[in-house]
A and B are shown apart, each in its own frame.
Chain A
């Protein structure tokens, strides 16, 4: 048996931190709160690193049993932890990026109220995320899944006095519920048909089934339902609406939860369930289509956004679309690879954006920024790295992962590839648009004005544009390095590393990869190079266009916008999706609830029943209370009458 790694410590450490801060943090100084939060989060990271170092000595997948949880007949769920290459990658990403963002948050949130609360939530999030990642079964994963939703809700609504923050939190929660609904039904189906939720047990029984062809069946349904869950958590097409609103939360939260880790849980889950998807081509296709469309759709919206964090939010959705696209063409390792690099550069982008916002005193509108290059050089350079990375410019991390995805997408269908390349162009365009608008040109903002428009960063001393403190810059620098170098591992090596996870269960697939495909690979190398050039060109084109429009001729975008007219407004208003949803779903539900459930059923049936019975009781009592006259003798009379009736009854019964 492999050594006991005490994997349970990894999630539990942040939980301890969360409990300490949550229960006692109010009395602690900020330093102590930060110390506790960083200490436990860092300890989890360190433990994860140690686990990674033990990897060579482990027989993967490695499971550690902790306790029995549910035992109902033959159905059994345990608390257990599951470690394989996939979860290890996630583990390192989550703890590493999470730790860096913790560090960053200390600087970012230093002057905020509820400091301890923030870190308590943050640690709580870490706990749930790690539970999700390390889960041994779907149910435990679901705990983490729901838990991160909870933490996300709490953190989005961190500034709960702000109405928009509170409703954004609610929106995130409710939209996620829809996804969870699908997830849950998928779980029920799994229980029903396989009698277990344990990954290994389920996958073992599934791998005995043959792939389902068109028309679908059980696995297709499960896959589609899992995809619904993933779409909710990872903000995919129908259910993406909560993520832009989630930007109401503090920027580190956006970086950690809504860019680097939580939103990728869907990708992780699909990758984890690859056994199911592999045998459900229809579901897989849906995943690919959804991912592709989301990538394109979100990228187009991102072009017209002016809020720096909203741009990044749509960018995130778009990049998540890429990941799903990858998963949808069964290139799970490419998806996970992109997930990792995306965690680096998107986390960096958010943190950089946070630094920018911090610098300009809480301003988030890019139209009021500009020329910040000289004021905040560190932020500028790290953001540059991140932007280049996301735009897919070699040799930055994003290039490798995105290129891999596009190449694999092409193998799936050229349509995916075409849209993917176009999206890459758009991505490059809007990211450089952001870059140019923020750091180049003249400063368009106004110190006094901006301090009034704040999401919390409104203390008077902030009117001067200033660089962020070191505690924020160091994580930026580290993430910048990772964004630069993160891709150098190379997709091939990464794929080989993750190979056991995705191919062990499909022995024939491995044989295919090693045998028949080996010849084709060599042949395709040239083609792949061409494709790489195309995608780089798309990125550079986006850079050039952004330079043209937002640096060289800043008045041009307006003219284009005017020219496009309604279409531009549609894009700027996010295609009115929120409004559409409001009309299609929210309004019917609210109206229906109001007129049928509230006025109709609740007031007219339930309340009416209760009220009528109460009124009836009262009226009866009203007449009956005159029996209680206070007159002793009338009471005695009633007693005597009752006794007489009783005696009469007894006599009658006796004489019968």
Chain B
């Protein structure tokens, strides 16, 4: 049997990795993937808690998260493509027109 906390720790590690990735990476696609990593970390906790509390709704939430992630990926990648078309770069540090 695996303790609940192990799953939570695994989810936390994944989430933390996602946050770190978001913070340290410059490639916009990688940043996007970091977000997906975070989502998955959360999903794992959802499923773990679903098993822990014997409530299926935790798994249902995972589906919704996946749907959101899919929608986000579709739109986000489309945005990335159009950004790339106009700016010729994927480096977020160079896509910084939205300031002051």
- Using CB atoms and an 8 Å cutoff, list the residues of chain A in contact with chain B: 625, 628-633, 636-637, 640
Instruction: State A535–B57 Cα separation when bound (angstroms).
Output: 110
Contact indicator A640/B100 (Cβ below 8 Å): no
CA A632 to CA B22, docked complex, whole Å: 9
Check A631–B100 contact: CB distance below 8 A. no
Is B88 on the interface with A (CB-CB < 8 A)? no
B2 touches A (CB below 8 Å): no
For A625, list chain B residues within 8 Å (CB).
100
Contacts of A630 in B (CB 8 A): 96-100
User: What residue in chain A is nearest B100 (Cβ atoms)?
Assistant: A625
Determine the distance from Cα of A630 to Cα of B98 in the docked complex, in whole angstroms: 5
Q: Does B23 contact A (CB under 8 A)?
A: yes
Report whether A628 and B99 are in contact in the complex, using a CB–CB cutoff of 8 Å. yes
Q: A628-B99, A637-B23 are in contact. List 9 more A-B contacts (CB 8 A).
A: A631-B92, A631-B99, A632-B31, A632-B95, A632-B96, A633-B23, A636-B22, A636-B31, A640-B19
Interchain CB contact under 8 A, B99 and A633: no
CA separation between A628 and B96, bound complex, in Å? 10
With both chains docked as a complex, state the minimum distance between the C-beta of A180 and any C-beta of chain B, in angstroms: 55
The residues of B that contact A636 with a CB separation of less than 8 Å are 19, 22-23, 31
A631 proximity list for chain B (CB < 8 A): 92-93, 96, 99
Residues of B within 8 A of A (CB): 19, 22-26, 28, 31, 92-93, 95-100
- Quote the shortest CB–CB distance from B70 to chain A (angstroms): 22
Residue pair A633, B19 in contact (C-beta under 8 Å): no
B98→A640 contact, CB < 8 A? no
Residues from chain B with Cβ under 8 Å of A629 in the complex: 96, 99
What is the minimal beta-carbon distance from B7 to any residue of chain A, in angstroms? 18
Residue of B nearest to A632 (CB): B92
CA A629 to CA B28, docked complex, whole Å:
17
Instruction: Please measure, in the bound complex, the distance between the C-alpha atom of A107 and the C-alpha atom of B19, giving whole angstroms.
Output: 89
Which chain A residues lie closer than 8 Å to B23 at the CB level?
Answer: 633, 636-637, 640
Report B24 CB to chain A, min CB distance, Å. Answer: 8
Closest residue of A by beta carbon distance from B99: A630
Q: Is the CB of A633 within 8 A of B100?
A: no
Hey, which chain A residues are within 8 Å of B31, CB to CB? 632-633, 636
Instruction: Tell me the bound Cα distance from A399 to B70 in angstroms.
Output: 104
Top 5 A-B pairs ranked by shortest CB distance? Answer: A630-B96, A630-B99, A632-B92, A636-B22, A628-B99
CB distance from A319 to the nearest CB of B (A): 74
17 contacts between A and B (CB under 8 A): A628-B100, A629-B96, A629-B99, A630-B98, A630-B99, A630-B100, A631-B92, A631-B99, A632-B31, A632-B92, A632-B96, A633-B25, A633-B26, A633-B93, A636-B19, A636-B31, A637-B23
CB distance from A651 to the nearest CB of B (A): 13
Known A-B contacts A640-B19, A640-B23; A633 and B92 likewise in contact (beta carbons under 8 Å): yes
CA distance A636 to B24 in the complex (A): 10
**A631 to B24 Cα, complex, angstroms:** 12
Interchain CA distance A487-B22 in the complex, whole Å: 102
A414 smallest CB distance to B (angstroms):
88
Shortest beta-carbon distance from A647 to chain B in Å: 11
List residues of chain A with CB within 8 A of the CB of B96.
629-632
Report the minimal beta-carbon distance from A636 to chain B, rounded to whole angstroms: 5
Closest B residue by C-beta to A633 = B23
In the bound complex, residues from chain A placing their C-beta under 8 Å from that of B25 are 633
B26 to chain A: closest residue by CB: A633
**Cα distance A629–B25 when bound, in Å?**
17
Residues of B within 8 A of A637 (CB): 23
Identify the closest chain B residue to A637 (Cβ). B23
Whose C-beta in chain A lies nearest to the C-beta of B35?
Answer: A636
How many angstroms between the C-alpha atoms of A621 and B24 in the bound complex?
Answer: 27
Residues of B within 8 A of A633 (CB): 22-26, 31, 92-93
Complex: A88 Cα to B24 Cα, angstroms: 93
For residue B12, give the distance in angstroms from its CB to the closest CB of chain A. 11
Query: Which residues of the partner chain A approach B100 to less than 8 Å between Cβ atoms?
Result: 625, 628, 630
CA–CA, A633 to B34, complex, Å?
A: 12
